Amino acid sequence: MTAPRVGKPWLPDFILLAALWGSSFLFMRLAVVDFGALPTAGMRVVVATLVLLPLLLLKGQGRVLLKNWKALLLVGLMNSAIPFVCFSFALQSITTGLSAILNATVPLFGALVAWAWLKDRPGASRGLGLLIGFMGVALLAWDKASFKPDATGLASGWAVLACLLATLCYGISASYTKRFLSGLPSIVTATGSQLGATVFLALPTIWFWPEKMPGASAWFGVLAVGVLCTGVAYVLYFRLITNVGPARALAVTFVLPVFAVLYGVLLLHESVTLWMLLCGAVIVCGTALSTGLIRLRRR
């Protein structure tokens, strides 16, 4: 196995990836206003597929994709189709910052699913991290989740649950990929997942396509989230894994809420409460412990 090339400069890629993934919530918010949740998710994977598929073919990995199409189809459903729909739905009633903070629970659910499915039992430090992380989620949901419809007819409680369903799907997909798709080139898994998601979302996208043509800002949001936050971001993520290893690349999940909150405040004039920031810090600390990125010292 080739060792990570830590000598290569990786910090610019790391920061750019966090900035891109942090902006995905902003772009989805722009798109969902005119497109609606399902068409926004559908167009995102279509655009991402059009970006990634030529890269895969240039690398000569077309046969590998075809050979593993069944497994990749399921990954597309769990890793892209369902999560993208959930986040698009959630962003109709909660802020981009809150969505991004909830998204930081992805490694938390990943550790929990790996424990239940792959028998990757966490030690005391990681177990404590799971408890702390879910406590942070519960406190945040308790403060922000309401099942009373707002002026738009939507309830923030369902949006929070949708975000958590999305992160659970990411966790399940990670364990499924580890068990059944280990050894596949990352570009194959990435392209296959977007292509699979496109298959699942094609008919719903057509069925729920808005009667009125979406405006320029909505089209900009769809193109940006597909090209930048999915296509380009995947390439950066794969390069990070190669240069510094998966553990350090995973830490980008903890940084992207900073960018998402910043974009929301500056560009969408969203409000951020001290309670949101405190709960976000609890979630990040718990997640870092549960994934083993930080460990408690034994005396």
Domain ranges of the chain: 11-290
pLDDT tens for the chain, 299 residues: list them.
444 444 457 778 888 988 999 999 999 999 999 999 999 999 999 999 999 999 999 999 999 999 999 999 999 999 899 999 999 999 998 888 888 888 877 777 777 787 788 777 767 777 777 778 778 777 776 666 566 666 656 677 888 899 999 989 988 887 888 788 878 888 898 899 999 999 999 999 999 999 999 999 999 999 999 999 988 887 888 777 667 665 566 667 777 888 888 898 889 888 888 888 888 888 778 777 766 666 666 55
Q: Compute the distance between CA of residue 91 and CA of residue 171 in angstroms, rounded to an integer.
A: 21
Q: Compute the distance between CA of residue 72 and CA of residue 45 in angstroms, rounded to an integer.
A: 14
Angle, CA of 8, 9 and 10, to the nearest 5°: 105
Return the closest-CA partner of residue 204 out of 74, 82, 106. Answer: 82
Return the closest-CA partner of residue 147 out of 161, 128, 163. Answer: 161
Q: Compute the distance between CA of residue 104 and CA of residue 118 in angstroms, rounded to an integer.
A: 22
pTM: 0.84
Please measure the distance between the N-terminal and C-terminal CA atoms of the chain and give it in whole angstroms.
34
Quick check: 115 and 290 in contact, CB under 8 A? no
Alpha helices in the chain (DSSP H): 11-35, 37-58, 62-67, 69-76, 82-90, 96-103, 106-117, 124-144, 156-180, 186-207, 216-226, 233-244, 246-250, 252-267, 274-290
Residue 214 carries which DSSP code?
A: P
Return the closest-CA partner of residue 250 out of 180, 171, 192, 135. Answer: 171
Quick check: 68 and 185 in contact, CB under 8 A? no
What lies within 8 Å, CB to CB, of 161 at 6+ separation is 145
Return the closest-CA partner of residue 210 out of 43, 45, 34. Answer: 34
| Token pair listed for 222 | 């769809």
